[in-house]
Structure 1
């Protein structure tokens, strides 16, 4: 059985998805605030590499850019942001629609993104200093979070 990564189109498919999501986010009045301080010029490519690793693809993110701790710290210390999370998920779903992503991979990608946005990326709202060292990128499959 192919991985979610493969079903999503591999690296190229996830780069397209990351770009489509980022375009949707930047057009959203609430979610775009998260990028008001600026962002890395290769944000979409890095995001796609992170998603790839989480979804069963190569460990390029961990090898080149950092571990889960570094990702979670980037998303921590900004207080609770449920509305932003909800809208980021809506932007993700719109990006899936924009690209014509079909079932069953569409639902799995939605579930992964919604889970990540509302759990790991929202776990430390008070301070990035609370994020423990050495976290590994969680793995997601057709059956959800892999333990």
Structure 2
């Protein structure tokens, strides 16, 4: 049986490194810098981001048990108005951050990780319009080598 993406990536330490590298890349991007440099950003943003990605990609439910749920993530990013190409830039930073931290270079792994982030960005951007309506519930997504899992 194939390990989860979380396990294949290297577990908790790998996701902490990925979230940190991604955050640093976003801070240096001229378009992403603004949303990533807010003074009111949660002091544990990087650790929470790592826990969220880890949980979605097959790791332990640390985010759900300590920080919130998927609906909270959607709420946090909703109603920000037009995003232009922020989504594309965010994905590009994610892909580059995988290189920065030496994530496995396995093509199937890289494809699954990029596909997850493209899906995640699209999932969030659906609620970017100022008049968008959030769902009443949004279960935590689970992403596998084959994409979004139904269970």
- The answer for the alignment partner of 1:47 in structure 2 is 49
Equivalenced residues, count? 146
TM-score (norm 1): 0.92
User: Stretches of 4+ moved more than 2 A in 1?
Assistant: 35-38, 126-129
| Residue 92, structure 1, aligned to residue 94, structure 2 | yes
Equivalent positions of 1:10-25 (< 5 A) are 10-25=11-26
Give the aligned CA root-mean-square deviation in angstroms.
1.5
* 1:141 and 2:129 correspond: no
Is 1:58 the equivalent of 2:48?
no
* Structure 2 length-normalised TM: 0.90
Unmatched 5+ stretches in structure 2: none
What's the secondary structure of 1:130's corresponding residue? coil
The structural deviation recorded for 1:128 is 8.1
Alignment-derived partner of residue 29 in structure 1: 30
CA contact (8 A) 2:27 2:37 kept: no
Q: Which residue of 1 aligns with 2:123?
A: 120
Report the 3-state secondary structure (helix = DSSP H, G, I; strand = E; otherwise coil) of the residue aligned with 2:89. helix
Which deviates more from structure 2 when the two are superposed, residues 32-41 or residues 13-22?
32-41
